[in-house]
Amino acid sequence: MSEPIPAGMAMPEGDPTSAMIPPGALKIGPYILERTLGVGSFGKVKAGRHMHSQHEVAVKILNRQKIRMLDMTQKVHREILILRLLNHKHVVKLYEVIETPTDIYVVMEYISRGELFDHIVEHGRLSEDDARRYFQQLIGGVEYCHRHMIIHRDLKPENLLLDHEDNIKIADLGLANVSRDGEFLKTSCGSPNYAAPEVISGKPYAGPEVDVWSCGVILYALLCGSLPFDDESIAALFRRIKSGQYQTPSYLSRDARELIARMLDVDPLRRVTIPEIRKHPWFVKNLPRYLALPPPLIYNRTLAVNPVLLAECARITGHTTEEIRWMLEHGKRNACTVVFEQLKDGRTRMDPSMLQPVDVGALLAAPGLASLHGAHAVGGETTSKRVKDQEMNDGHAQHALGNDGRQAPAGADDGGEPDDGDNASSGLPTLPASLISPRRFHVGVRNDYLDPKNIMEEVFRALSVLKWRAKAPSTYQVRVVTGDGTQVPGQAGAVLLNLQLYRTESHFVLDIAMIEGDVFSYVAACHALVSEARIQ
C-alpha cells in the first residue's frame, strides 16, 4: 500500500544488512521482526527494525483469515485509513502497510515505555503538575483528531502509550470513526468505565463530546489513582454513569474539581468543549509553548527539510537529495520517504524553547499574533467549523486567469489594496448564527484575517497544485472533482466537492461540501485541501 518508487529511483540492491538476520527472526520487506510485544485479536504485535535506517518500529500483524472470521474487515480498513490521515506528536504514527496473501503488516512508531495504565498502577495518583502535563498532551492529540473529523471513541489509559521521553501517544484507533457531516453516531462502543452516558444509553451522539467525557475520566484517574465510576455489576456501573454521581477527593484543587465536573456533565449539551478546556485556568498553567502556539506557526517551524537528514537518507537509499526532496514535497509514500521519516523521528528533537511553559495571555497579546491566529491559539476555536447546508448558487460568472495561469476569482486583477471587510465581502452569502442547523452540517474552514478575494486566490492556487478539476459557477463558489482528471466521482477515490465562501458577522467560512463520493475519500480530500491552502 506504499507507492512504488519511480523508475530509476529504486532502493539499492544487495545491501549487506540483508544477510544479517538473527536466527528465528522474520524478514518482511525491509524490516527484521524479532521479539513479540503483545498479542491482539488478529495476531501478534512484534518489535522490528528497518534494515537501512536501523529505526525501531512496532509491527501489527493482522491475519486475513481471522479478520474475515470475526467480520472485522471494515474495522481494520478504517483504522489503517485513519492512521494515514494523522500526523501529530501525540498520536502514534503509521509508517507504511505491507500486504501478503495471508497477512497485513501495519508498521507503526515504536513506543518504548508501555501504557499509561501501568504507570498509574505502579505509581498511584499523580501530582497535579504531572497529571496536567499528560492531560495537556492528551487534549492536544484529541483536538488534532477532532479537527480532522476523527472521533476516537475508546480513550482510556490502556490506549495511551508513553514514549522514551515520557510523552503521551494516543493509540488503538480501531474503534475510531469519521464524523460525517451533520450525522449522529449511534454505535455503543468503547470501555464501559470510560463511556459517556449517551453512549451506554444507545442515544445518538455527535462525537467529540464522548471523547471529552472519556478524557474527564482519564483526568480523574490521573489525579486520584482510581476511577470515578466503577462497580462489579455492569447494571450498577451504568446507573452510576447515567446519574453522574462520583466522589471528589478533598485533596484536589478547586480548579481541578471544577474542570472534572464540567467534563463529566451527563448532559452532552452542557458538557465542556475542547476549546473551553483550553481556556480553563487549570489547563493553561505551565502549558508548553508548542501546545499553546497556533497550529499554523507550529507547522511553519517544521516544514523546512533538514539537509543533514536529506544527506543521510541519500547515503542509505542511493537517491540524490533532489529526488528525495521532490518525493517529500509531492507527498509520496514509498520506501525512500519512509526511511526519511524514520531518520527524522529518530534524530530530530523539538527546540527546547518550545517545551518551556508560556504565559498564554502574553502570547496572545504579542503583536500580530492574536489578529492573525486568534481562532487557532489557546482559548480560540477549532479550525474546522460546521456550517449550515445552503442551496448552491446557480448563477455563472467569468473568471480571469492570474499571471501564473491559474483561475482567479473575478476582480482579482484589481492590483490595488485589499478592500475592507464590508466592501470585500459584498455579494457573499451571509451565514447568521441563527441559521445553524442541528441536523445537517458541512465542514468549513474559518478565516479571520484574509479578505474574500485573497481567500479565493489561495483556494485556486491550492487546487492548481493539487491538479484537481475546477469550475466556478459564481465568484465565491467552486465545484471541484478530485483526482488526476481521469476518475469519475464515486470511483477510484474521486470526490465531487462544492466549495462556497460564506460571511458571518465576524469572519469568513469556506464550506467544503461533498456532493458525490465516499466519506473516506472526502476526508482525505479535505485533509489535502486544508493542508495545501494557507487560509487557516
> Is the distance from CB of 79 to CB of 95 less than 8 angstroms?
no
Q: Buried b vs exposed e over 284-313: b needs ≥16 C-beta within 10 Å?
A: beebbbbbbbbbbebeeeeeebeeebbebb
**Does 461 have pLDDT greater than 70?**
yes
pTM: predicted TM-score of the whole model, two decimal places: 0.61
Flag the least confident range among 45-59, 317-331, 373-387, 442-456. 373-387
Tell me which CATH homologous superfamily contains domain 383-532.
Kinase associated domain 1, KA1 (3.30.310.80)
Flag the least confident range among 100-109, 241-250, 494-503. 494-503
pLDDT tens, residue by residue, 73-93: 877 887 787 777 777 889 988
**Does 506 have pLDDT greater than 50?**
yes
What does the pLDDT average to over 37-48?
81
Interacting residues of 36 by C-beta distance below 8 A, sequence separation 6+: 44, 45, 46, 47
Comparing 486 with 224, the larger pLDDT belongs to 224
pLDDT over 70 percentage in the chain: 69
CA angle 376, 382, 388 (to 5 degrees): 130
What is residue 448's predicted lDDT score, i.e. its pLDDT? 67
What does the pLDDT average to over 251-268?
95
pLDDT confidence of 153, banded at 50, 70, 90? confident
pLDDT confidence of 464, banded at 50, 70, 90? confident
pLDDT tens, residue by residue, 403-453: 333 333 333 333 333 333 344 444 555 544 433 444 333 456 777 667 788
What does the pLDDT average to over 386-400?
30
Count helices and strands (H / E) in the chain. 21, 16
What is residue 7's predicted lDDT score, i.e. its pLDDT? 40
Comparing 413 with 242, the larger pLDDT belongs to 242
Bridge partners, 481 (sequence order): 469, 496
State the span(s) of the chain assigned CATH 1.10.510.10: 116-286
State the span(s) of the chain assigned CATH 3.30.200.20: 16-109
**Does 220 have pLDDT greater than 90?**
yes
Count Cβ atoms within 10 A of the Cβ of residue 492 and give its class: 0-12 exposed, 13-18 middle, 19 or more buried: exposed
Pick the CATH number of 116-286 from 3.40.50.720, 3.30.70.100, 1.10.760.10, 1.10.510.10: 1.10.510.10
Mean pLDDT of the chain: 74
Known binding-site residue numbers: 60
Identify which of 327-331, 356-360, 417-421 has the greatest average pLDDT: 327-331
Comparing 483 with 264, the larger pLDDT belongs to 264
pLDDT over 90 percentage in the chain: 19
Known binding-site residue numbers for ATP: 60
What does the pLDDT average to over 91-107?
89
What is residue 524's predicted lDDT score, i.e. its pLDDT? 84
CA 475 distance to own-chain centroid: 31
What does the pLDDT average to over 246-267?
95
pLDDT tens, residue by residue, 119-151: 998 889 999 999 999 999 999 999 888 887 788
Comparing 423 with 492, the larger pLDDT belongs to 492
Give how far Cα 245 sits from Cα of 94, 251, 269, 526, Å. Answer: 39, 18, 18, 40
Question: Annotated catalytic, 154?
Answer: yes
Bridge partners, 445 (sequence order): 384, 510
Give SS3 for 113: coil
H runs (alpha helix) in 16-127: 64-69, 73-85, 116-123
Give SS3 for 321: helix
What does the pLDDT average to over 306-333?
82
What is residue 160's predicted lDDT score, i.e. its pLDDT? 94
Just give the CATH number of 16-109.
3.30.200.20
Count Cβ atoms within 10 A of the Cβ of residue 39 and give its class: 0-12 exposed, 13-18 middle, 19 or more buried: exposed
Catalytic residue among 71, 129, 154, 265: 154
Q: Phi/psi of residue 442, each to 5°?
A: -125, 160
What is residue 255's predicted lDDT score, i.e. its pLDDT? 97
What is residue 147's predicted lDDT score, i.e. its pLDDT? 80
**What's the half-sphere exposure (Cβ side, CA atoms, 13 Å) at 353?**
3
**Does 401 have pLDDT greater than 70?**
no
- Cα dihedral value 334, 340, 344, 346, nearest 10: 90
